[in-house]
Amino acid sequence: MGLTRRIRGIGDRENGVLSIRSAYTVVEKLLVLEGNLNSLEKKVFGLIWRSPAPSKVVAFSWSLLLDRIPTRSNLVIRNVLDRNSNLNCVLCDLGEETSNHLFLHCNVVDKVWQKVLRWLEFHQIYFVHLVCWSDDAKQRKIRKGAWLIWHAALWVIWRARNEKVHHNRVRTVDEIVEEIKVRSWHIGVKVN
């Protein structure tokens, strides 16, 4: 049974409504059934939808974890960009723009993560996974806040990258961090 046949049954079985969560559940089951996830990945994908962040931000994070966002490297794989195109990271211009590079190894984003972690008074040196954030926070409200900030940070970094690509607007690390703080606060106010 292929994915096309299963898509017809994505909606919530009780009321037949299609949602991001119901689509996620189907794709998650396909991934788990195929055995493509290790235990850490299963844990992360199990936690990701518990965030109070807006669904479009959580969906973006989910796509990022599956390496499905349109980085320069992925655009070459999809034949959108020519293989001879400049594949360097838009933000630092030092490494090939892959999902891992952009969100974990880019020099600019590394400074963003360091400032966000300092702001939160987290004691990890580097961001690794959502699990790291949630394992440090044993209280439910603190954990949800950490998830929200994690999602907001990914979203703001991606938007800063796209502003440079599409509008040639370069944002400073401090501007990016400030937007992460504002968006986190704004979403948190809506949730509570």
Asked whether residue 16 is domain-assigned, the answer is yes
Amino acid at 23: A
Sign (positive/negative) of CA torsion 138, 134, 107, 57?
Answer: negative
Backbone angles phi, psi at 43, to 5 degrees: -65, -45
Tell me if 54 is assigned to some domain. yes
Query: Range with the lowest mean pLDDT among 90-99, 102-111, 122-131?
Result: 122-131
Q: Is the pLDDT of residue 124 over 60?
A: no
Q: Is the pLDDT of residue 12 over 70?
A: no
Please, where are the H alpha helices in the chain?
3-7, 20-33, 39-47, 55-65, 72-77, 99-100, 107-120, 130-136, 140-167, 173-191
pLDDT of residue 4: 40
* CA–CA separation, 10 and 15 (whole Å): 11
Task: Specify if 43 maps to a domain.
Answer: no
Residue 129: CA count within 13 A, CB half-sphere = 13
Residue 80 lies in a domain: yes
Using pLDDT thresholds of 50, 70 and 90, give the confidence band for residue 7: very low
- Examine the domain organization and report whether 15 and 87 are in the same domain: no
Q: Are residues 27 and 71 in the same domain?
A: no
Same structural domain, 31 and 61: no
Question: Do 24 and 54 have their domain in common?
Answer: no
Q: Do the domain assignments include residue 63?
A: yes
Range of the domain at 30: 1-36
Name the residue with higher pLDDT: 3 or 190.
190
Rounded to whole angstroms, the maximal C-alpha distance in the chain is: 50
Q: Distance between the two ends of the chain, CA-based, in angstroms?
A: 43
Give the separation between CA 99 and CA 7, rounded to whole angstroms. Answer: 27
Same domain assignment for residues 70 and 20 = no
Tens of pLDDT, residue by residue over 19-59, are 666 666 666 666 554 556 677 777 777 778 778 888 899 88
In this prediction, residue 17 carries a pLDDT of 63
What's the structural domain count of the chain? Answer: 2
Give dist(CA 111, CA 174) in Å, integer: 9
- Enumerate the β-bridge partners of residue 96: 88
- Kindly state whether residues 101 and 7 are assigned to the same domain: no
Phi, psi angles (nearest 5°) of residue 42: -60, -40
